Structure 1
Amino acid sequence: MALPAPQGRRSSTFSRLLRHGFTDPSAAARLLDTPEFSPVRDDSVLLEALGGTADPDLALLGLARLVEAQSPEGQQELLSTLVAAKPLRDRLLGVMGASEALADHLARHPGDWRSLVTYESVDLHPTTPEFEQALAEGIWGERGEGRSRADALRVAYRRSLLGIVARDVCGTTDVAEAAAELADLATATVRAALQISYEEAPGDAAVSRLAVIAMGKCGARELNYVSDVDVIFVAEAKEGVEEAKALQAATRLASRMMRLCSDVTVEGTIWPVDANLRPEGRNGPLVRTLSSHLAYYQRWAKTWEFQALLKARPMAGDLDLGQAYVDAVEPMVWQAAERENFVADVRQMRLRVVENIPADRVERELKLGPGGLRDVEFAVQLLQLVHGRSDPTLRGPGTLDALAALAAGGYVGRQDAAALDTAYRFLRALEHRIQLFRMRRTHLMPEEETDLRRLARSLGLFTEPVDTLRKEWKWHAREVRRLHEKLFYRPLLDAVAHLEPGETRLSAQAAGHRLEALGYVDPAAALRHLEALASGVTRKAAIQRTLLPVLLGWFADSADPDAGLLNFRKVSDALGKTPWYLRLLRDEGAAAENLARVLSAGRLAPDLLLRAPEAVALLGAADGLKPRGRAALEQEVLAAVGRAEGAEAAVAVARGVRRRELFRTAAADVIGAYGTEGRPAEEDHGHAIDAVGFAVSDLNAATLAGALRAAVREQWGDTLPTRFAVIGMGRFGGHELSYGSDADVLFVHEPREGADEHEAAKAAFAIANEMRRLLQLPSSDPPLLIDADLRPEGRSGPLVRTLNSYAAYYRRWSLVWEAQALLRAEPVAGDDDLGRRFIELIDPLRYPAEGLGEDAVREIRRLKARMESERLPRGADPTTHAKLGRGGLSDVEWTVQLLQMRHGWEVPGLRTPRTREALAAAHAADLIGTEDAQILDEAWVLAARVRNAVMLVRGRPGDTFPADGRELAAVGRYLGYEEGHVGEMLDDYRRTTRRARAVVEELFYEG
């Protein structure tokens, strides 16, 4: 038993240990005080070497375990060699300070430390043949004796891995060379595993030729320490053998080889061999013939499969067959960018990168997160696919080599390529060191201080390691994100800006190819717009060259990039000389992105903006897109009308306010749709549609108030002989207007005391007509059509009635449909008191005491059935017509309105003009079940969103999905579907409305 060290010596030892980076000097001192370490206890060289490792405590513990596992002679040899030979000291301690898992391996196989003694030039950069030789010695040579072939392979693999790690942590290889060595070791390992399979099944080996194709990081010789090894298997029958028999034999060989690599035994595991990149993935046969592969790629393959084939290389087995496979698929890879669905597939690939990351891990993801490794790899691969068609120099499989070739060919600026290269190497080094610790597959930055400290020191960051590491990581991630966005677009600007020759030399043809790949249908026009925006030496052009790389990326993410760029040019032409415009886009982060989204989302919002480009300012203000309430709008409109010269000028001002507010609402709607990751929750959809309905209804009400004030002031000043009110009907009264809805109204008046009734009626009629005339004057502003056809007697009846006349009509002549129409009546303009008394007049009619009689219910059902058969436009698909089709707006509204008329007298919550509010009240009163209420609400919200989407995209109203493919895709984007998924959108719509129709059949028609 060792005696405790004197107090003074212990204090001195602790100080030395702390100075050399140990965090637990007590534990370290106890290890050094053991008899085994007595020969080197006071050796400063050993302490200095331990202090230079990633984790001195871990390295010392690993060394203690290794020493303990030796025989007495082995201990003396190890320690003496360690002190005498600096290369071994640095390599062995460096490995154990960085990898707990490899320290475990050395403790289990105490003789393997000798593999790190050799320090010859050939040892610095071994390739596949050297690894094959080392593995063969470990499997079939003396070192393999006493173990199964499979376990011998696992031990030999780890022994070879020790050398790669030692070179890596000591800095004698860089991260790219280490990744290449890992891929070469993987190649040698697969070859050895395949040879073992041949030995165990010589009959199978005799009838088939089997080639293993390396894919992914292994194929590109940029493998991680812990990663699946992606492969594809190709087989051919040997002469005189049936193909089916040969394929069965090859499948058995391939399966055995995969198990040898991935099985877990007492010697651990190597890595999984993943064959899921094969045609049809997991659902396809494990092994195919070459002709079968080619038939699949020619007919069925998706773009991502060709992108994966960028990295294919023959790896093991029959290398001639493997090379024939690579030679045969290579032309298809370089034609992938010409495929019709290339852009949609590329977007889907980008989405798949991020969409499966759990929210709590996004900020820690080195590989898939924003600014991660995949951003670099995806950008490089896409540029290879686009430009590699005509430039063979870009066809290398490795990321960094391809990036260098892109820079050399002028497709990427050399400074940008160098910055991206540096960032990628740093992130890969981080990934390597994180995986190395426990030899586990992970891409997450650790959270514990101990792990971060070890990680930082392993990268050579010894001063304030944790803080320095975090800063470096975040800086590199930001650089990757910035360069990822810039990589595609900066060369485009250099190609058209006609400045001094820069780093990039992108030709017009190459620029066109790139724009096509990013979704621009007319690349020639896009290049003209870029030239107009970015050329010259003015401050305006300089700012545009700063903005456009990011804006072009946002346009490319939309359904219509061409429209986005064209609209941006139009807005810039209109505002380019305005000092605040470009400054707003440059300095306000959200403003530029918001503008890009709005300009590329359809016709309505851009058309509104181009009529008043100064509304761009709304996109940068803190509350710029927040809807304004009716009171504030009405106050602004009435004040503007009061200042205007004449009625027509007054209404023009009111319509200008409406145009601006429509833009505000449409922009907020579009940006909200883009701003949701994936598909928003249903309650968010409902909130969005309610917000649009209220905003459009409020601004239409304010516009009518302005038109009313203008009409009165023009002819009567302040002495109008009658009170006058406008009652909103239909969706207007229900605050459920869409962008293209007419304003359904009733006009009511009441002569003032002492006024002549004939003159009052004449004045009221003149006011109503003048309002309609003023609002229908030709204008570039969106029309606001007043529809008064819901008045008593319809078009045959008087346009305006007194309150008493309405009372007399409803008392004597009213039909059930008129009572139903009044369910959504609400005052919107004019005399407030008169409007309130009109509502009091109609309440008993629309909410009849004791509900509706059976005759009335039958009449409502008859009218609904007649409407379904007569009003649906000829040729319209009843399964996708949002207003009158199956399960659409009309179905839901009539069902809710029937409940209101039958039960409104006893359920106060039903007395509302709003459909969703009434539906919720019916559910609360147990008049409709929870599931049925949810089905109807979902269908109503979806149909309303479709109508809004059509108006936003086409700039004109529509009740069904557009036939044009690009417009249909834009509607899909608004509804939350990515490009290429419009079929899914239509299926979802039909399914939702089909379920709603079933509820309508049950509740409205009672089965």
Structure 2
Amino acid sequence: MTESWTSDRRPSLAGRLARLGFTHAARAERLIAEAEREGAAPGDALLDALGATADPDLSLDGLLRLLPAAGGELREVLAAEPGTRERLTAVLGVSAALGDHLARHPDHWRVLRDGVAGPLGSPRADLLAAVGADPAASEPVARGEDALAALRVAYRRRVLALAGRDLIGVADVAEVAAELADLAAAALEAGLAIARAEVPGHEACRLAVIGMGKCGGRELNYVSDVDVIFVAEARGAGENGEGADEDAALRTATRLASAMMRACSATTEEGALWEVDAALRPEGKSGPLVRTLASHRAYYERWAKTWEFQALLKARPVAGDADLGARYLDTITPIVWKAAEGESFVEDVQDMRRRVEADLNQRTADSERQLKLGPGGLRDVEFAVQLLQLVHGRADETLRSRATLDALADLSRGGYVARDDAAALASAYRFLRRVEHLVQLHRLRRTHLVPDDEAGLRRLGRALGLRTDPVGEFTALWRRHAREVRRIHEKLFYRPLLRAVARLPGEEARLTPQAARIRLEALGYADPAGALRHIEALTSGVSRRAAIQRTLLPVMLGWFADAPDPDAGLLGFRQVSDALGTTPWYLRLLRDEVTVAERMAWVLGSSRYATDLLLRAPEAVALLGSDTGLAPRPHEALRAEALAAARRHREGAGGRPAEEAAGVVRALRRRELFRVAVADLLGLVDVREVGEALTGISAVTLEAALQIAVNKIEMESRGPLPTRMAVVAMGRFGGHELGYGSDADVMFVHDPLPGADERAAGRAAHAVAEELRRLLALPAPDPPLVIDPNLRPEGRQGPLVRTLASYAAYYARWSEPWEAQALLRADPMIGDPGLCERFRALIDPVRWPEDGIDEDAVRQIRRLKARMESERLPRGVERRLHTKLGPGGLADVEWVAQLLQLRYAHEVPALRTTRTLDALDAAVGARLLDAEDAEILAEAWCMATRIRGSLMLVRGRASDLLPTDHHRERSSVARVLDYPGTGDLLEDYRRHARRARAVVDRVFYGAE
């Protein structure tokens, strides 16, 4: 009997409901009171069961709708049968749609009773009986809307029974998915029975329905398109279709197939089942809906694309003529397992995945909530497994399972996937499929999106058994699984196989070149034929060099496979080895110093920029031996070396000493750039250290080039320079924040010597500046150092070099607020020391005005920033991914610091710095900026700077935009930055940028 909540106990009910997990306890209390008046109130045991569900409020609503319709029997059963109580409340607490179904069909609760496995009979027999067909003959009795409605009711009844077992953990994910696929196959058979009633003369043809995708693999979702392919032949035809009217049979079969699809997809008063999708057929939607077996075979042998063979991995006859379906499978299977022999097979599979990701990112802003197609989602697991199956399954028939989890277990047993990786992928796949089932069960709608509302996330977390913090725990668990999936998906390699491939030249009987090529593709080598040529070139012969290489390569090939671009790593290694292979210390160093070889493999496989530097100076390999050797050199030591090189190459008899001297200085720069790049790639230096080191390298290069240029002009004019010269670093150069691809923004200043002719002094200074630019622009095997003087007064329209007095007159009369802002990063660091100090004294009052700047100037600066945001971004780029000009990017942070400097540096000496992060620290110290805001800005600035640096290191060319359309580059940048996957990098950057932009809006623009 149902226990009554009497008036003396009622005050405690709301509190108990809240403790049980009811979100709206007062509302639930009211509903229970109303039910009590009608004699249908839940008792203690039932309340406890409701509180154990994913959504107690939803479960209560469904139960109170069902109880009056189901009558006293249900109340008695719920009181007496704990299992029934648990299954029913669990279903009602997850699925509003199944709650609606029970309200329409209250007697269906019986399929959830203790000891009932579900409706009696097989799914096929049950659904055929529902539409009035004889299971033996599949002939229909019921027709039209009645049959369609009956099919849906019977289908939902079985889904209800399955959900009851699923939601209490009796059936695991794989079992649920397999039963759903079998139920879908039964529905297709019932739909075909209905179709036969509509198509006269259907007896003239045989029609087989081939399940594809998740239906074929017996891993279907609760709500999913059911992918199919149709094959037909004339009844009574021979093996090749002879002896019958094939065209007429195909027309009849096409009508049957169309009617069957309508029977399953049509919307009725009981809703629809799911869409039957035949787009995976040959030629897709452009091709005929139904083909003969011979036509299918001809298409796959001649025209099919790689993705079509991948789709056929899961092909399985599910309905219709069983004999024809079996013959289809016998015909197609050998073709599928030869597909991996195609020349660009692996590349095609990878390209298809990239296109799916790119299309997803373009079509929806919800890609990060995608369980199926998003980074670290179900498709990542499936693509990885299917690629390995298709590559290795040609020779190993144990790898031909249709279901993803079965195939993954086979790959692990066969040694093609490491046990830990396979276990991690299987665990993540089960979790993601479980979540996918839960989100679909709620409304019985096709969706792969994790909810973005608190209630939906709470329901998911509780359904998964998370109780302390359902939302937080679920989100953390989901993200962790997604990161692990993405990491392993992008890995795809197997080291023992690489060791065998390394020994191929001397052991060809063990692994043929063709087999090695196929396997290298699967392990991440885009050009396996080229990789084999490099291996053979490095290891062939009987020389000591070849013997050491044969010892080194098995290990190094594994390290190359760990790097983002194994092919580039192996190619670079061969090129460096060719250049240094006869040098006694080189191979000995690699053999005896494991750190050098491992670091070399990572650098060559990660960075085109560092590889190019190393190929131009291969002896720099010696720098890899220790952290000390990779530490940026002190500025004064570097300066002394550069100036000594300039002095040793004064103009003399014969030759081109100026160009020769510049070449020596540029070679020094190349070596130091390599040192910093490798230290950066290995995580030995942070963002500030990289900026300072690159600035120092550029400064000593400019100073040495200035000395060489002065020497040359003095020799040509046969006398000393009639003026003093200085170079003022501007922008990132002046801020000591240069990146690998940064130009050197400068201004040139000179001061005529006493008694010198000012015009002659100006001509000499201009000649020196032009010669300096020429020397640094000469073609050479090193990254160019571009000198950009466009921040000078009047920009490109103004003179390249000005006197100190000319600068003073200009700033006193014409200077605009933006020029004062530009001077905040001016650092006169190169050339005559006295002139540098005088220039600094000249500009300090301009950039740090005595009374700060007025509100009109502040408004001008804000308008200029707003205009820059709207006009300077390249057209067509995703502004949120632009690390320099996008919201929360470098410019945002720097303008905040600079506005604070313009307003307050006159009274806060610590703000008088050219460095962005130092300015933010000073603003915090002066209480002009909240410490938390400063930390947010600094973190965003550092992250954007690291990304820009990594883009240059990976690509060998500068970019401000996070890559979105080139998978290898995107993955390489993420790996270099030590993110497990590209999704993690994008998520982290967007989070930092979003928080930084909020600070900018408040601090810079004054938004509330």
- Shared fold (TM-score greater than 0.5)? yes
Match of 1:316 in 2: 319
Q: Which residue of 1 aligns with 2:357?
A: 354
Please give the secondary structure, in 2, of the residue aligned with 1:231.
strand
**Counterparts of residues 231-630 of structure 1 (less than 5 Å):** 231-238=228-235, 239=237, 240-358=243-361, 360-492=365-497, 512-517=517-522, 518=524, 519-521=526-528, 522-524=530-532, 548-551=560-563, 554-555=564-565, 562-563=570-571, 566=574, 596-599=605-608, 604=612, 607-608=615-616, 610=618, 612-613=620-621
1:655 corresponds to 2:663: no
**What residue in structure 1 maps to residue 196 of structure 2?**
198
Q: Partner letter of residue 225 of structure 2?
A: D
8 Å CA contact retained: 1:449, 1:466: yes
The answer (yes or no) to whether the contact 2:498–2:554 under 8 Å persists in 1 is: no
Q: Distance in 1 between matches of 2:133 and 2:623?
A: 79
Query: How big is the shift at 1:220?
Result: 0.5
Shifted more, 393-402 versus 643-652: the winner is 643-652
Contact 2:155 2:187 (8 Å CA) reproduced: yes
Q: 1:435 to 1:380 in 2, by over 3 A?
A: same
Aligned partners of 1:202 and 1:632: how far apart in 2?
95
> Offset at 1:934?
10
Q: Where does residue 175 of structure 1 map in the other structure?
A: 173
Question: Corresponding residue for 2:184?
Answer: 186
Distance in 1, Cα, partners of 2:178 & 2:210: 16
Contact residue 116 and residue 163 of structure 1 kept, 8 A: yes
**Greater shift after overlay, 95-104 or 50-59?**
50-59
- How far apart are 1:29 and its partner, in Å? 2.5
Residue range with higher mean Cα deviation, 272-281 or 51-60? 51-60
Distance 1:655 1:252, change over 3 A: same
The alpha-carbon distance between structure 1 residues 23 and 662, as it changes in their structure 2 partners (threshold 3 A), is closer
Q: State the alpha-carbon separation in 1 of the partners of residues 218 and 274 from structure 2.
A: 16
1:603, CA displacement in angstroms?
A: 8.0
Match of 1:43 in 2: 43
Task: Say if 1:211 and 1:322, in contact at 8 Å, map to a contact too.
Answer: yes
**Deviation readout 1:926-960 (Å, 9 max, x if unpaired):** xxxx9xx999xxxxxxxxxxxxxxxxxxxxxxxxx
Return the offset for 1:156. 1.0
Task: Please give the residue correspondences for 1:798-947 in structure 2 after superposition, counting only pairs within 5 Å.
Answer: none
In the aligned structure 1, how far is the partner of 2:755 from the partner of 2:398? 92
- Answer whether contact 2:111 2:119 (CA < 8 A) is retained: no
Cα distance, 1:402 vs structure 2: 0.6
Farther off after superposition, 187-196 or 27-36: 27-36
> Structure 1's 291 and 36: CA in aligned 2 closer, same or farther, altered over 3 A?
farther
3-state secondary structure, aligned to 1:140: coil
Give 3-state SS (helix, strand or coil) of 1:269's partner. coil
Match of 1:225 among 205, 222, 226: 222
CA distance in 2, matches of 1:191, 1:655: 76
User: What's the CA shift for 1:377?
Assistant: 0.7
Indicate conservation of the 8 Å contact 2:131/2:194, yes or no: no
| Cα pair distance change 1:427/1:546, threshold 3 Å | farther
Q: What is aligned with 2:645?
A: 641
Following superposition, the deviation at residue 398 of structure 1 comes to 0.9
Q: Please list every run of 5 or more consecutive structure 1 residues that lacks an aligned counterpart in the other structure.
A: 499-504, 587-591, 625-630, 671-693, 726-738, 740-749, 756-763, 785-822, 837-929, 936-966, 968-972, 981-1007
- How far apart in 2 are the matches of 1:632 and 1:255? 81
Distance 1:718 1:642 in 2: 19
The separation in 2 between residues aligned to 1:623 and 1:363, in whole angstroms, is 39
Which string of whole-angstrom CA distances, capped at 9 and with x for unpartnered residues, describes residues 125-151 of structure 1? 99xx71012212322189989961111
Change (3 A) 1:68 1:36: farther
Moved more, 153-162 or 541-550: 541-550
Equivalent of 2:210, from 203, 208, 213? 213
- On the 8 A contact 2:88/2:112 being kept in 1, the answer is yes
Query: Matched residue of 1:315: which SS?
Result: strand
Secondary structure of the 1:461 match is coil
Rounded Cα–Cα distance in structure 2 between residues aligned with 1:466 and 1:193: 41
Q: CA deviation at 1:485?
A: 3.0
* SS of alignment partner, residue 228 of structure 2: strand
Correspondent of 2:161 among 137, 160, 163 = 163
Matching residue's letter, 2:28: A
Corresponding residue SS for 2:405:
helix
Structure 1 residue aligned with 2:81, among 65, 79, 85?
A: 85
**Are 2:646 and 2:708, in contact at CA under 8 Å, matched by a contact in 1?**
no
- 2:705–2:772 Cα contact (<8 Å) kept: no
Residue equivalent to 1:815: none
Query: In terms of mean alpha carbon deviation, does 7-16 or 345-354 score higher?
Result: 7-16
SS in 1 for 2:208: strand
Distance in 2 separating the partners of 1:298 and 1:399: 26
Other structure's SS at 1:296 match: helix
How far apart are the structure 2 equivalents of 1:360 and 1:979?
A: 19
Q: Percent identity?
A: 46
Shift of 1:382: 0.5
1:577–1:201: structure 2 CA closer, same or farther, 3 Å change rule?
same
Instruction: Tell me: CA distance 1:407–1:976, structure 2 relative to 1, closer, same or farther (3 Å).
Output: closer
2:730 alignment counterpart: none
Letter in 1 for 2:334: P
Residues 273 and 146 from structure 1, CA distance in 2 versus in 1: closer, same or farther, beyond 3 angstroms? closer
RMSD of the TM alignment (CA)? 6.0
Q: Distance in 2 between matches of 1:322 and 1:163?
A: 30
CA contact (8 A) 2:358 2:964 kept: no
Q: Secondary structure at the match of 1:93?
A: helix
Indicate how the Cα distance of structure 1 residues 44 and 825 shifts in structure 2: closer, same or farther if over 3 A, else same.
Answer: closer
- Name the CA distance, whole Å, in 2 between partners of 1:144 and 1:36: 43
CA distance in 1, matches of 2:593, 2:191: 70
Give the corresponding residue for 1:133. Answer: 125
Letter in 2 for 1:214: G
Look up the equivalent residue of 2:565 and give its one-letter code. Answer: F
Displacement after TM superposition at 1:184 (Å): 0.4
Change (3 A) 1:29 1:667: same
Q: Which stretch of the first structure deviates more once superposed, 416-425 or 375-384?
A: 416-425
Residue deviations 1:873-913, cap 9 Å, x none? xxxxxxxxxxxxxxxxxxxxxxxxxxxxxxxxxxxxxxxxx
Question: What one-letter code is carried by the residue in structure 2 that aligns with 1:340?
Answer: E
- Indicate the SS of the match to 2:209: strand
Change over 3 Å in CA distance of 1:341–1:267 after alignment to 2: same
Bigger Cα displacement from structure 2, 434-443 vs 565-574 = 565-574
Counterpart secondary structure, 1:440: coil
**DSSP-derived class of the 1:236 partner:** strand
Aligned residues: 734
Conserved 8 A contact 1:309-1:333 = yes
Q: CA deviation at 1:210?
A: 1.3
Amino acid at match of 2:123: F
> Does structure 1 retain, via aligned residues, the 8 Å contact 2:232–2:253?
yes
Name the counterpart of 1:33: 33
Q: Distance in 1 between matches of 2:308 and 2:431?
A: 28
Contact 2:95 2:442 in 1 (8 A): yes
* Counterpart Cα distance in 2 of 1:461 and 1:769: 71
1:149–1:496: structure 2 CA closer, same or farther, 3 Å change rule?
same
Task: Report how far residue 487 of structure 1 moved.
Answer: 3.7
Q: Which residue of 1 aligns with 2:65?
A: 65
CA distance in 2, matches of 1:386, 1:609: 39
> What amino acid is the match of 2:485?
V
Distance 1:26 1:774 in 2: 78
Secondary structure of the residue that 2:365 maps to in structure 1? helix
Structure 2 counterpart of 1:162, one-letter code: L
Question: Which residue type is aligned with residue 257 of structure 1?
Answer: M
